[in-house]
Amino acid sequence: MARIVGGLCTSHVPLLGRVIDSGRTGEPYWQPIFEGYEPTREWLKSVNPDVLIVIYNDHANGFNFKYTPTFAIGCANEFNPADEGNGPRPVPIVQGHSRLAWHMTESLVHDQFDMTIMNEMDVDHGLTVPLSLVCGQPAAWPFRVIPICVNVIQYPQPSAQRCYALGKAIRRAVESFDEDLNVVIAGTGGMSHQIHGARSGLINQTFDNYFLDKLVTSPEELAGIPLVEYVREVGAEGMEIIMWLTMRGALDDRVDVMHRFYHVPAMNTAVGNLVLENAKAQ
C-alpha cells in the first residue's frame, strides 16, 4: 500500500523563484536562504518519494475570482507553469499521478471533503517555487506531484481546524491506495507577511517561531486559533501558514524534526522551512 513517509513545509515567496531563474542564488543577500534549504534537499533525495502532494494556494493565476474553490485537487497527468504576467517560469512541466489523485478524490469526498476536481490546471509560484527550493533546477522534477489548492485569499477561507482535518483525511486516502508508493506531503505559504495596507512589510518573528514550535508538539493548539487571530499575528497573506497544518495532520501525533530553518527578511517576508518524519519507536 502507499504510505506517507514524511512531510515538509516551506514558504513560497515568488521573488525566490526569480532569483533562482536568474542565477542569483549566490549573491550575499540571498545565499543564506538557499543554504538553509540544503538539508531539506538532501533529506528529500534520501527518502526518494514517488509522489509529492503539495498543499498550496493559487494567486489568481491558475484560477480567477469568477471561480474560487475552497479545496481543489489536480487529477490530470501534467500541469503547466502559469503565466504570472512575465511568462511562465522556465521550470519543468509538473507531472501528475492521475490514478492516485482520482483515488484520493473519491476517498476525500466520501470523507466529507467536497473537492473541486481539476482535469486541467496551471500552477503558479505557490507550487513551483517550493519545488525549486527543495529540488534545485533539474531537467525534470524527480517525482510526480498531486497539487491540492486551498483558498486562503478570498473570504470566506477554511478554518485552520478544517485544514488540519484535511491532512488526516489525505493520510487515510493515501494509505488505502493499492500501489506501493512512498509519498511526501508539503504545506506551503507564509510565514508572516503582509503586502498591502498600513501593515505592509509586517514580520512577526515571535509568532512565527511559536508556530514552528507548536506545529511539532501541539498542532491541535494551532488548529484551534481563529483565522482573524492568524491575520492579526502574521498578516493577511501570512495566514497562508494554515496550509502547513494540512501537512501536519497527515503525520503521526509524535514526529521527529529532521530540519528547521527560519530567516528574515526575504524582501518583506519571513521565510520558514520545516521537515518532519513520524517519530521512530523507542
Catalytic-labelled residue, pool 12, 97, 103, 193? 193
Work out the average pLDDT over 104-123.
Answer: 97
For Cα atoms 67, 147, 277, give the angle at the middle one, nearest 5 degrees: 140
The stretch 127-150 carries a mean pLDDT of 98
Q: What is the pLDDT of residues 27-36, one digit of tens each?
A: 999 999 999 9
Q: Does 279 have pLDDT greater than 80?
A: yes
Active site residue 193: yes
Residues 6+ apart with CB under 8 A from 243: 55, 56, 57, 150, 152, 163, 187, 188, 189
Domain boundaries, the chain: 3-278
- Mean pLDDT rounded to a whole number for the chain: 96
* pLDDT over 70 at 89, yes or no: yes
What class, spelled out in words, does domain 3-278 have in CATH?
alpha beta
Mean predicted confidence (pLDDT) in 60-87? 93
pLDDT at 282 over 80: no
Count CA within 13 A, CB hemisphere, residue 222. Answer: 27
Q: Assign 39 to helix, strand or coil.
A: helix
Residue 118, pLDDT above cutoff 80: yes
259 is catalytic: no
Question: Could you say which of 110, 125, 196, 259 is catalytic?
Answer: 125
Provide the percentage of residues in the chain whose pLDDT is more than 70.
99
CB 203 within 8 A of CB 264: yes
pLDDT band, residue 207 (cuts 50/70/90): very high
Give mean pLDDT, residues 204-229: 98
Record the pTM. 0.97
- The answer to whether 15 and 278 are in contact (CB under 8 A) is no
